[in-house]
Amino acid sequence: MTSKISRLFRPKRSDKLSIGKEGEDGGAATTMSIGEPFNVVRNYHVNFDKSTGEFVGIPPAWRHLLDESNISKEEQKAHPEEVVNSLKTYAKSIKRKSSTTKFMLVATTIRESDEVLEGEKDEKDGGVFTEDKAAGAGPGASKDVEDTTDGSPQLRQTENTDEDDGQVVSRRPRTQKPMTDAEINNALKEVASPGNPHDKYDVQKKLGAGASGSVVLAKVKSSTDVVAIKMMDLNNQPKKELIITEIEVMKSYRHDNIVNFLDCYYLENELWVVMEYLDGGALTDVVTETIMKEGQIAAVCRECLKALEFLHSRSIIHRDIKSDNVLLGMVGAVKLTDFGFCAQLSGDKSKRDTMVGTPYWMAPEVVSRKQYGNKVDIWSLGIMIIEMLEGEPPYLNETPLKAIYQIATKGKPDIKNEEKLSEELRDFIHCCLDVDPEKRGSATDLLKHPFLHKCMALSTLKPLVVAARQNTGH
């Protein structure tokens, strides 16, 4: 690698600078060559001038982000360090759009995932904040529908569906030792089963498609069972390492509340991942289109906590808990999916400090770029409860940068009509959304919480799925 870099930056003869140097014997001058600089690092020293209320030394790109963030001057003046930390977090993030769509195993459509942030630890090129002591949107809000008297599922009405377009162009983060395509392909071949999947499965219909491939419903030829198959185009996977992570986790660990991996096959430029088929789709449609009762929310939380207790006990953090990654079965099943962001913790590294996940569900310690443990999943579960109550996570009408700032500075978000919630639910949410991870409840602790005594039967989720599909036309 060093030799390649040297060749890459080796200047042409015409670019050399000759410097005359008289030899000791008074002979002709020798020639020294000065090549072009490489590995240039620009350090920014960011100050906040209290007298003017302005940041000094802020990089131009950060200035643009800040101007578009809707973070007011008053907020900047009150929390300058948090503003800089939020800028640093977001500036090192990736916005994953359709090119990295994650596929949900749903019955009718594949929902494109929300923006995903992923970046590395703070590096030398980040701004350094000091305070000058001498000088001193996304989908709109939803509203609940009044209770019906006939017991039918209640639907949400959306006031505004305009999408927020104040985003930053995505950038791939640099990794220290990226795997080559050949290494990734070899690793995928090793985990794949031999043979041709067409000999075992009869593809029935396409469930959805994205830029990276498609998901199909298939029948097992030797039985009446049906499965979901993710057909992933390996030529269009910017982060193929995540596929390996997802397969390794799902292949190693099986649980009633995890979408179970069944098999995978490596074809030329394509990977088929065979998984359980859940005909109820993602929880997202239910939370955005219907009104859930507390007992139904409790039931979903219980099933998710069972999965999290299983993962956490094996030193695995999911890191992307949200309604999109909770799948439902029409016969009464709630399962976690999408393990591409899972982190395996070792004994000597029990915390993670990589920026991964979806910003609106992120815990304060993640957006603040602090080390974190599996309690980040519990925070995300708390935000998902707000989804189930309100139809969307907090700050979804804000830009991602403003959302990161709000999470870092506000702590537990406001909950609409919180006073109308039962005491058990209010306390359960508080246990999930404690800013201090040490005080935040664990999956094991929360499974014993009185709120879960209110659990309704999982079969009561089926009418919500049906109503949501009717409302969306799926």
DSSP string, 401-440: HHHHHHHHHH-SPP-TTGGGS-HHHHHHHHHHS-SSTTTS
The domain over range 181-275 is classified in CATH as 3.30.200.20: yes
What tokens were used for 426?
């209010």
> Given the structure tokens 């590294």, which residue do they identify?
349
- Is residue 285 predicted with pLDDT exceeding 50? yes
Integer Cα distance of 104 and 218 in angstroms: 15
First to last CA, the chain: 52
Structural tokens at position 258: 């995890």
420 assigned to a ligand binding site: no
SS3 of 53-64? CEEECCCHHHHH
Catalytic residue positions, numbered: 320
CA distance 324 to 105: 10
- CB-CB neighbours of 148 under 10 Å: 11
- For 161-165, 268-272, 283-287, which range has the lowest pLDDT when averaged over its residues? 161-165
Measured in whole angstroms, the distance separating CA 205 from the mean position of its chain's CA atoms is 29
Q: Is the pLDDT of residue 49 over 70?
A: yes
Most confident of 124-128, 145-149, 209-213, 427-431: 427-431
Question: Residue 209: is it exposed, middle or buried by C-beta count within 10 angstroms (0-12/13-18/19+)?
Answer: middle
pLDDT on residue 340: 63
Share of the chain above pLDDT 70, in %: 69
Residue-level length of the chain: 474
Residue in 169, 174, 238 with CA at minimum distance from that of residue 210: 238
pTM of the full predicted structure?
0.72
Q: Show the CA angle centred on residue 45, arms to residues 40 and 49, nearest 5°.
A: 155
Residue 462 token pair: 């089926």
Per DSSP, the chain holds a count of helices (H) and strands (E) of 14, 19
Is CATH 1.10.510.10 correct for 154-170+282-472? yes
The tokens for 70 are 């809707």
- pLDDT given for residue 142 in this prediction: 38
For the chain, give every domain's residue range. Answer: 154-170+282-472, 181-275
- The listed range with the strongest mean pLDDT (114-118, 121-125, 358-362, 372-376) is 372-376
Query: 3-class SS at 370?
Result: coil
Of residues 327 and 51, which shows the higher confidence score?
327
Q: Quickly state the pLDDT bin for 357 (edges 50, 70, 90).
A: low
Q: What whole-number distance in Å separates Cα of residue 344 and Cα of residue 191?
A: 18
Both structure tokens of 164: 């927020």
Q: How much is the average pLDDT of 86-93?
A: 72
For residue 257, what are its two tokens? Answer: 């509340």
pLDDT at 434 over 90: yes
